Structure 1
Amino acid sequence: MNVSLWVLQAVLAAVFGLAGAMHATLPKEKLRPMLPWVEDFTTTQVRLIGAVELLGALGLLLPAATGIAPILTPLAATGLAITMLAAAVTHARRKEPAAVAVNVVLLALAALIAWGRFGPYTF
């Protein structure tokens, strides 16, 4: 199970790292055709969402891999799960069921990592 959690952490870190980099760096005008939800947020808010996703991605891997404050790994997973919960609410409000489904899957995977790393498979 430990290896499975590591693989899952790496996959989620890649997903959130790429999404976070895109949200944090691309202008809102370029994001709008791909991500219509950016209409509901200011440029600063979109960039902050990207920063949260990037930090969460780093938090999934670096603390555990380096052995420096490994408690941050399940905390990062919990933070990303909360972020996906908020994203699901936003997409549900906008009536975007496909996006809600993606958010629920990412939330479940982040919650699984948090459970595993807080519980039976700590570092």
Structure 2
Amino acid sequence: MSVAYWIVAVLLGLFYLYSGGIKAVRDPQRLKPMMAWVDTVPRPALRALGAVEVLGALGLLLPPLTGIAPWLALAAAAGLVVLQIGAMRLHLSRGEVRETGLNIALIVLAAAAVWLGTVWI
């Protein structure tokens, strides 16, 4: 199960480091072609969302790697599930049903990380 956790965690980590990183530093106008919803949230909220995604990615990877409070990886994965449920609600409220496919895939991966991460509890 440890190998499976690392595969899922690295995939999620890379996705959220990139996604969160660009939300945290890029201008919303440059993000709009990729993320049409950025004009519906204030810039500080967009920056905070990016920071949460980056912290979630680091939370998936660093605690198990260092052996310091590895249960935090489960908390990070559960937080990413909650984050994607919120993202899916935003897309559905905007009528963007097609966009929810990625949200569902990320929810499934993060839930798998929670389950696979129980090896450290």
Q: TM-score, normalised by structure 2?
A: 0.96
d(CA) in 2 for partners of 1:117, 1:32 = 35
Q: TM-score, normalised by structure 1?
A: 0.94
Tell me the amino acid that sits aligned with residue 45 of structure 2. Q
**Counterpart of 2:99?**
99
**Counterpart of 1:21?**
21
**Alpha-carbon deviations, 1:48-93, whole Å to 9, x = none?**
1100000000000000000011011010000001000000000011
List 4+ stretches of structure 1 deviating above 3 A: none
Q: Which runs of 5+ in 2 are unaligned?
A: none
**Alpha-carbon deviations, 1:85-110, whole Å to 9, x = none?**
00000001111122211001101110
**Alpha-carbon deviations, 1:23-65, whole Å to 9, x = none?**
0000111111221111110000110110000000000000000
Query: What is the CA RMSD across the aligned residues, in angstroms?
Result: 1.0
Deviates more, 1:91-100 or 1:15-24: 91-100
**Counterpart of 2:90?**
90
**Counterpart of 1:122?**
120
Report the CA distance between 1:116 and its aligned residue.
Answer: 2.0
The 8 Å contact of residues 23 and 50 in structure 2, kept in 1 or not, is answered as: yes
Tell me the amino acid that sits aligned with residue 50 of structure 1. G
Matched position secondary structure for 1:5: helix
**Counterpart of 1:6?**
6
Matched position secondary structure for 2:52: helix
Choose between structure 1 and 2 for higher RCO, CA contacts under 8 A separated by at least 6 residues.
Answer: 2
Matched position secondary structure for 1:34: coil
